[in-house]
Structure 1
């Protein structure tokens, strides 16, 4: 992002908004992770602790979810770089 046309106060405000949006995105992703893994893995409600099978399932689920999210983010960054590169070639 190019903030060069903004005053320092405006830049700080935009930066704060971006950070807030990123944090909200993290919370949303975390909430989806918890909900998905809980619904998929937790089946026995006779105890307040997870069984070893449930705990392993939650660990595997969370690991798979995080790896998927990392891959999607990496791919998005690759595509974004390609788009930015093609825009520079067109304008330059």
Structure 2
């Protein structure tokens, strides 16, 4: 996006809106990962600590999501 034709104050406003959108997107993605991995992996509530099985499941879930997210980002960059 070429903002060079806009006045300086409008460039700053557009940049601020873009940064806010990126922050919201990051928070949304984080919340999605937490909810998905919690639902898939946490099965007991006998202790405040995760069991070794739950810990391994959460790690695997997060890694899979990050790999998928990275792959989607790479494809997006290829097309743009």
- Please state which band the TM-score falls in when normalised by the shorter chain: over 0.9
Where does structure 1 differ by over 4 angstroms across 4 or more consecutive aligned residues?
Answer: none
Q: Which of structures 1 and 2 has the larger relative contact order (alpha carbons within 8 angstroms, sep 6+)?
A: 2
Q: Deviations over 1:23-53 (max 9, x none)?
A: 0000000000000000000001111110000
Q: Within the alignment, does 1:7 sit opposite 2:7 as a pair?
A: yes
Distance 1:49 1:58 in 2: 13
**Mapping of 1:21-40 within 5 angstroms?**
21-40=21-40
Alpha-carbon deviation of 1:78? 0.5
Give structure 2 stretches of 5+ with no counterpart. Answer: none
2:5 paired with 1:16: no
Deviations 1:47-71 (A, max 9, x none): 1110000001000100110110011
Aligned to 2:54: 54
What TM-score do you get using the length of structure 1 for normalisation?
Answer: 0.85
CA positional deviation for 1:5: 1.4
Equivalence for 1:64: 64
Which TM-score applies when normalising by structure 2?
0.97
1:17 Cα shift?
0.4
**Unmatched runs of 5 consecutive residues or more in structure 1:** 81-92
